[in-house]
Amino acid sequence: MDDEIRLALAEALQTAATAKSIRTCSRWAAKRRVMGEPFPGKYSWKYHPWVRDIHDTQATYNYIMKAAQLGCTEVAINRAFYVLDQLKRDVLYVLPTALNASDFAKARFNVALRHSPYLEQMFTNTNAVNLKQTATNSLYIRGSRGDSNLKSIPVSELILDETDEMDMKQVWLALERLSGHLEKHVWALSTPTIPNWGIHKLFLTSTQEHYFFKAPCCGRRTELVWPDSIKICGETVTDPRCHESYLVCKECGATLNHRSKPEWLKGATWEPTAHNGNPDVRGFYINQLYSFTVTPGEIAVAYFRTFGDEAANKELHNSKLGVPFVGEGAQVTNAMIDECIGNHTAQDARPKLGGERTIVMGVDQGKMCHYVVMEFLVDRFGNDINVASKGKLLAFGKYYEEDWNVLDNLMREWQVLGCVIDADPQINEARRFARRFPRYVWLCRYRRGKTAKEIAISEQDTLSPMATVDRTNWMSAALGRFKTHRIILPRDISLEFRDHVKAPVRTYEPDESGNPQATFVSTAQDHLAHALVYAEIALPLAASVATGQDIESFL
pLDDT at 142: 86
Dist CA 398 CA 362 (whole Å): 12
pLDDT at position 445 over 60: yes
- Tens-place pLDDT, residues 266-324: 999 999 999 877 899 999 999 999 999 999 999 999 999 999 888 899 999 999 999 99
Q: Supply the pLDDT for residue 268.
A: 96
Buried b (16+ CB within 10 A) or exposed e, 119-137: beebbeebeebbebbbeeb
pLDDT (0 to 100) of residue 435: 95
Model confidence band, residue 523 (pLDDT cutoffs 50, 70, 90): confident
Q: Taking 50 as the threshold, does the pLDDT of residue 10 lie above it?
A: no
Residue 145 pLDDT: 75
SS3 label, residue 509: strand
Tell whether the model's pLDDT for residue 17 goes beyond 80. Answer: no
pLDDT tier at 233 (50, 70, 90 boundaries)? very high
Grade residue 107 by pLDDT with cuts at 50, 70 and 90: confident
| pLDDT score for 12 | 46
Report how far residue 130's alpha carbon sits from residue 112's, in angstroms, rounded to the nearest whole number: 16
Look at residue 11 in the predicted model and tell me its pLDDT.
52
What fold is seen in the domain 334-554? Answer: Nucleotidyltransferase; domain 5 (3.30.420)
Burial of 512 (0-12, 13-18, 19+ CB in 10 A): exposed
Span 380-403, mean pLDDT? 88
Q: State the pairing for strand pair 466-469/441-446.
A: parallel
**pLDDT value at residue 460:** 73
By the 8 A CB rule, do 415 and 359 touch? Answer: yes
Q: Model-level pTM?
A: 0.83
- pLDDT of the residue at 237: 92
pLDDT surpassing 60 at residue 147: no
Per-residue pLDDT tens over the stretch 161-213:
999 988 777 777 777 767 666 678 999 999 999 998 899 999 999 999 999 99
- Whether residue 70 has pLDDT greater than 90: yes
**pLDDT for position 380:** 65
Listed by start position, the domains of the chain span 334-554
pLDDT at 8 over 60: no
pLDDT at 40: 87
What is the model's pLDDT at position 438? 93
DSSP state of 54: H
Question: Does the pLDDT of residue 390 top 80, yes or no?
Answer: yes
Looking at 39-71, list the stretches that DSSP marks H as alpha helix, in order from N- to C-terminal side.
Answer: 51-55
